[in-house]
Amino acid sequence: MSTNNSSVPASTRRLVAERANYACEYCLAEDVGSFIGFEVDHIISRKHRGSNDAINLAYACPDCNRSKGSDIASIDWENREIVRFYNPRTDIWAEHFRLAGGFIEPLTPIGKVTVDILRFNDKIRLPDRGIF
Ligand SMILES: [Zn+2]
């Protein structure tokens, strides 16, 4: 979560937004006509000593950013393992998720914990993807 956004220079924030084509790098929501501004997310949160460098930053919608908080991983209860979240800088979205009728389905354990914790498929978010 961007708990420390002010520490990221405006020029870097601009770069992050442009690099992401103004879409959330987690749930792919577009920053077009959103009433609340998108945010710059620390992929590894500042709490866990993640840097302010562009390589550790992702463009995120407020829903993803708020749900992620300062977390960096969760638990895959099927395998009883700690699994890190999807990293937009080093992972390929389509390897971990797929869009199915507006829902985002996980394809991997990384996808699963990310879908769960970032709450990609919360009812309130589905209209944005054409589901009512
Ligand atoms: Zn999002």
Q: Separation of 37 CA from ligand 1 center, angstroms? A: 12
Q: Separation of 102 CA from ligand 1 center, angstroms? A: 14
What confidence category does residue 18 fall into, taking pLDDT thresholds of 50, 70 and 90?
very high
Q: Separation of 27 CA from ligand 1 center, angstroms? A: 4
Q: Separation of 28 CA from ligand 1 center, angstroms? A: 6
**Total domains in the fold of the chain:** 1
What local confidence, expressed as pLDDT, does residue 37 receive?
Answer: 84
What local confidence, expressed as pLDDT, does residue 104 receive?
Answer: 96
Question: How many CB atoms are closer than 10 A to CB 126?
Answer: 15
Question: How many CB atoms are closer than 10 A to CB 81?
Answer: 11
Stated as kind and residue range, the H or E segment containing 132 is none
Tokens of 65: 């950013």
Domain range holding 61?
5-129
DSSP three-state, residue 99:
strand
Predicted confidence (pLDDT) per residue in 21-75, tens digit: 999 999 999 888 666 789 999 999 999 999 999 999 999 999 999 999 999 999 9
